[in-house]
Each structure stands twice: as structure tokens, then as C-alpha cells.
Amino acid sequence: MTQFILRTRSFYSIINFRRIYKEILMKIVGLITEYNPFHNGHLYHIEKAKEITGADAAVVVMSGNYVQRGAPAIMPKHLRAEVALEAGVPVVMELPVCFATGSAEYFAAGAISLFEQLGCIDSICFGSECGDHGVLERIAHVVADEPEEYKFSLQEGLRKGLSFPRARQLALKAYFKDDSLDAILEQPNNILGIEYIKALYLKKSPIRTYTIKRMVSGYHDESLSESYSSASAIRKLLAYASNSIHLEDEGMFDEPVMSEVLTRLEGQVPPSCIRLLEETHRTRYPIYSNDFSLLLKYKLLTETKDTLVKYVDITEDLANRIINHANDFITFDQFCDLLKTRDMTYTRISRSLFHILLGITKYDMLSCRDDGCCHYAHILGFRKDAAHVLSHLKAHSNVPLVTKLTQTDTLSETGARMLTQDIFASNLYEAIITNKFKLPFVNEYQQSIVIL
């Protein structure tokens, strides 16, 4: 009997040693995502990232209920996290809303900061239109170091009244003496990739960067391809289904559109995503910018030119135009179209309006950035069969891993303020769901972490 006990203890000691040894050597690649909605290109990204980095696991930092292009996510963050977990991602964390709705520079700074604070991320892998890491790295280093020739050209462009993105594009072309850079600097994922590399370079971070070329469809493509369609194309198809079903309710449309849409999406998105799209359609999604129209109109009625400029991305000129056109406001999208100019894009306008609506000020953004950006990692969900990955993160993280929103004792003052902002933004999104689909309101504190 004694020998049996000793053998048993020895057996479990070996298993425990192997587990600890495995965790010590674990390599983790970080993915910065929106999954709006999740599709085959994202699944390819997950698998390819682990392959080219040699990582044991890929953990995800995902935008919450609002995305970087200046819009609400089409479906809530917990549903999008669930699809990612179904696809094999072990842990999904939320990018704080002030960074998720920020410019490419702030979006990247927030996500990179979070990965840095976790203390155990070996690499990040991002998708890009060009797929050429060397080119993106050279551009990122120039943007970070600002050599005199580049800096002079940039300031010259700004003096001429060009927008910052346009002035920077021309300055980089002049510095590298390469007109072909337009094809790189006009693509959104290339721009984000440059910002990821720049953020890590400025931090002198040991985290390595890798890129993979986007499969088939471009970021803005609105037509379905054979198997790797863009999120834009899928959102457009879902919007068509939603609008058609609404017309059917009014007696103006008599075709079962949603079932046809889901059939068309088979082969474009994983089966788990098809299931969620079917089960939650018109109960949890779709949500669009125009659903926030009345809230934004109310908010703008409380503002003046002087108060508007305190919000992120609101210049004095934009504040003047918002006030001068306030009486012409009809819908969120219509107002963005009305305000955009040659030097200020629709996306920039939309992002600015959401900053007003969510109360994200320049002080908030600058204080978060200057205080180290991310002060916590809010866990949206994890897989039970990958609990060792979550344990690994907990063991190495320099910031609290938040699984319950009531557990905020360990947060810094800045972190607590950021989390309060996240909770407000999520509750506002939930209020839209409640109003649109006539369902009970679920406060953010009542939302359960997704566990598969």
C-alpha cells in the first residue's frame, strides 16, 4: 500500500512538473482584432499567426462594442468573443473604449500597451494589405525617429493646411523618394501595422512583430468573394437582410431573406458564427450608427463651440461646423456626410461624434497615454481546456486581470476611471439593443464572462 501511494505521488509529481515546465516555456502570440463580425479570414489569421511565430497559443485583444472606424460594432462584444473562443482562441480581452475608438496611433498604442503589461507576450501578428514587414518597419522607424528631412516636409504640409494623414503621406514619399508608397500608406491595415511596429519600437520592447498578407478581399470590399470575404461585405449583406425583414413586417416584402443570407455566408464564416447569427438576429444584433441618432442629437443640444473642443479629435473648425449645422441634423450617418470635407474623412467625423456621445475627452486620452495606457486587462471570455493559458497570464501580468467588474480594489485611479468609461459605453450600447429589439436591459455588471 505504501509503495502504491509513493508511486501515485511520483506519477502526479511528474504530471505537475510537466505542466509547470510547459507553462514556463509557453510562447504566446498576441492578436489585435475587432471580429466585426468573425469570418474565415480571421480564422486563417489565428492559425497562420501560430504557425509563423511558433507560438503555443494566440491570445486576443478585441475592440468592445465600438470599433476603430468610428461606429458601433454590428453585434455585442460578448457574442463576438464567443465566436472567437469557438474558433480556438483561449482568451479574449477587451481593448478599453478610449483606445478602441481612437485614431490608428491611439488604437495601436492602447493594444500594444496591454500586451506589454501582460508580461508574457512573445510576438504580435497582424494582417496587412502589402504583407511586407520590411517596408512597414522602415516606415515605422522614420515616423518614430522623425529625421529632420522628414520632419521639415511634414510641417510644410501642415502649414499648407493639409490633414495630418495626408501631410505625413507626402512627407514619407519625399523622404524615401518613392511615389509607390501611396499604395501602402492609403490602406488601413498597413497604417495600423506601421503604428503597431512604431509603438513597440518607441517602447524598446522585446515583443517581435510579424505580418501576413490579407486573403483575397480588401478591407473596404463590399462584395462577397469565394471564401475570404471582408467584414465590410458581410456587414452589408446582413444590413440588406435586416432592412428587407423590416419591410416584410410592414407588408412590403414577402421573401424569407435571412435564411438566404445565411446560406450565402456558409463557407464565408465558421459554422459557430452562422449559428449565432441565426439565433441572435434581431434580438442582439444588428446595431448601426443611425440607431444612436436621437441620443447624439440630444447630446449635441447640450454642447457649445467651447465645450465641444474638449473631446478627442474635435478641432475648433469641426466644433464650429457641428454647431452651425446642428439644425440640419437628421440621422447620424447623414450628419457625418454633411460635415465631411476634403481634408476630414467620414470615418474621422464619425469617430469624433462617438467621442462626444461617449464623453471621451482629450484629457482622458492624454492622461491614459501618459500614465502608461492600459491599467487592466478585462477578460471577456476563455476556454476551459486552455485554463493554463489564463493562469500563465495571471502569473506574469503587471496589471490586474479583471473578470468581475466589482473587483476594482487593485486598480489605479486612472484605471478605475477608464473602466467606468468602458462600463458606461457598454450600457449605452445595451440601451440601444433594449430600445431596438424591445428586450430587457442587461447592465454591464450583469453580463457574464463567456466560458466554453
Residue ranges at the known binding site: 32-45, 127, 189, 214
Residue 265 CA to residue 261 CA, distance in Å, equals 6
The pairing of strands 208-213 and 57-63 is: unpaired
Mapped onto helix, strand or coil, the DSSP state of residue 450 is strand
Residue type, 339: L
**Residue 71 half-sphere exposure toward CB, CA atoms < 13 A:** 17
Residue 409 CA to residue 113 CA, distance in Å, equals 21
Residue 184 CA to residue 326 CA, distance in Å, equals 37
Residue 70 CA to residue 187 CA, distance in Å, equals 16
Which residue, 37, 55, 272, 137, is CA-closest to 46? Answer: 55
Detail the residues annotated as belonging to a binding site for ATP: 32-45, 127, 189, 214
Buried b / exposed e along 411-435 (16+ C-beta atoms within 10 A): beebbebbbebbbebbbbbbebbee
Cα dihedral: 326, 332, 338, 339 (round 10): 80
Residues forming a β-bridge with 450: 381
Mapped onto helix, strand or coil, the DSSP state of residue 327 is helix
User: Residue 118 to residues 60, 175, 202, 376, 395: CA-CA distances in angstroms?
Assistant: 12, 36, 18, 9, 9
- Pull the grid cell for residue 362: 482629450
Residue 168 CA to residue 182 CA, distance in Å, equals 11
Instruction: Please state the separation of Cα 223 from the chain's center in Å.
Output: 22
Judge whether 417 and 396 are in contact, CB under 8 Å: no
Residues forming a β-bridge with 124: 30, 209
